[in-house]
């Protein structure tokens, strides 16, 4: 016996059947949801402008607006949160004059905070020091806006609180000498009858070899004599040493 004819199945009826449950209502997983806490949150270059979360092929999308160019578009929320996207390809590729220098500073601080193989890790990551900037671009934007400098050469980005993190409000620009004095433990060296911080010793060498000589137990006078001996014997770099020694005694 032949039953009553069934209506033809279309793509819309299949989709409707797939999104309906026993309650005869569409599940939020399929139709989208809403989270008011997302509004005004910033990820990379964009700010979320609507609490509505739209589902597209199993992925969550939110409406955003770029803080750089003002373009509004829907972006994958999970990619924003994980840092896989900065939200605006055009603005993220717009480099400033100092972005290369600041980018290298960011890479260096990430290494000493996150990589146990980094020589500075014991003084940073091992002590619980972290970088609380969401991305490289966010770090660069913050430094350029709050710590302006012509080219960021000759200065370092230091933490105001030596036990604090790399985060907004805890950064400052300092010279190399100031940064050394802010270290957890300052190296002292005997110079002219007194123990002085290594950063205050007028060494003719760069900081790293001076620090090495001080750790070996050399006094300031012995380091000076070592430099003069290098000049007399015309060792590698003797001209630079001679210029520094001459300027110190003139």
List, for residues 156-168, the tens digit of each pLDDT value.
898 988 889 999 9
DSSP category for residue 123: G
**Among residues 181, 205, 222, which one ends one of the domains?**
181
Q: Are residues 156 and 112 in the same domain?
A: yes
Q: Is residue 4 part of a domain?
A: no
Q: Are residues 129 and 165 in the same domain?
A: yes
9 Cα distance to chain centroid? 55
How far is it, in rounded angstroms, from Cα 213 to Cα 224?
11
Q: Both tokens of residue 237?
A: 């770099």
Long-range contacts of 28-34 (CB under 8 A, 24+ apart): 29/55, 30/55, 31/55
Contact assessment for residue 80 and residue 44, using Cβ atoms and an 8 Å cutoff: yes
Q: What's the average model confidence in pLDDT over 66-72?
A: 79
Range of the domain at 35: 24-92
Mean pLDDT rounded to a whole number for the chain:
80
CB atoms within 10 A of CB 102: 22
Q: Is residue 10 part of a domain?
A: no
Q: Both tokens of residue 64?
A: 């955003």
Q: Are residues 109 and 166 in the same domain?
A: yes
Q: What's the average model confidence in pLDDT over 148-157?
A: 87
Q: Count up the domains in the chain and report the number.
A: 3
How far is it, in rounded angstroms, from Cα 146 to Cα 98?
14
Higher pLDDT, 176 or 22: 176
Q: Are residues 67 and 37 in the same domain?
A: yes
- Say how many Å lie between the first and final Cα of the chain, rounded: 116
Q: Is residue 15 part of a domain?
A: no
Q: Is residue 206 part of a domain?
A: yes
Residue 17 — pLDDT band, cuts 50, 70, 90? very low
Q: Are residues 121 and 165 in the same domain?
A: yes
**Among residues 181, 205, 232, which one ends one of the domains?**
181
Q: Are residues 87 and 136 in the same domain?
A: no
Q: Is residue 195 part of a domain?
A: yes
Q: Is residue 80 part of a domain?
A: yes
Q: What share of the chain is helix, strand, coil (3-state, %, to 5)?
A: 40, 20, 40
Q: What is the pLDDT of residue 18?
A: 45
Q: Are residues 69 and 117 in the same domain?
A: no
Classify the phi-psi angles of 234: left when phi > 0, otherwise alpha if psi is within -120 to 50, otherwise beta: left
- DSSP states along 204-243: SS-HHHHHHHHHTT--HHHHHHHHHHHHHTT-TTHHHHHH
pLDDT, tens digit, 9 for 90 and up, residues 118-149 = 888 888 999 899 999 988 878 888 898 899 88
**Among residues 181, 213, 239, which one ends one of the domains?**
181
């Amino acid at each position: 016996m032949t039953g009553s004819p069934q209506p033809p199945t279309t793509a819309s009826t299949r989709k409707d059947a797939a999104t309906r449950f026993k309650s005869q209502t569409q599940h939020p997983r399929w139709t989208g949801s809403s989270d008011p806490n997302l509004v005004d949150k910033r990820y990379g270059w964009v700010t979320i402008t609507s609490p509505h979360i739209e589902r597209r092929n199993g992925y969550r999308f939110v409406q955003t607006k770029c803080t750089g160019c003002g373009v509004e578009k829907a972006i994958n929320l999970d990619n924003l949160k994980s840092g896989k996207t900065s939200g605006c390809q055009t603005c993220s590729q717009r480099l400033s004059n100092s972005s290369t220098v600041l980018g290298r500073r960011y890479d260096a601080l990430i290494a000493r905070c996150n990589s146990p193989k980094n020589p500075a890790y014991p003084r940073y990551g091992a002590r619980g020091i972290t970088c609380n900037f969401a991305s490289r671009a966010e770090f660069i934007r913050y430094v350029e806006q709050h710590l302006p400098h012509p080219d960021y050469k000759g200065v370092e980005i230091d933490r105001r609180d030596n036990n604090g993190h790399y985060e907004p409000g805890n950064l400052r620009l300092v010279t190399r000498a100031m940064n050394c004095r802010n270290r957890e433990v300052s190296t002292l060296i005997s110079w002219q009858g007194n123990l002085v911080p290594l950063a205050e010793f007028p060494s003719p060498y760069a900081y790293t070899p001076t620090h090495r000589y001080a750790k070996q137990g050399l006094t300031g006078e012995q380091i000076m004599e070592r430099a003069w001996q290098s000049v007399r014997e015309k060792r590698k770099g003797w001209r630079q040493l001679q210029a520094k020694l001459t300027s110190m005694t003139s």
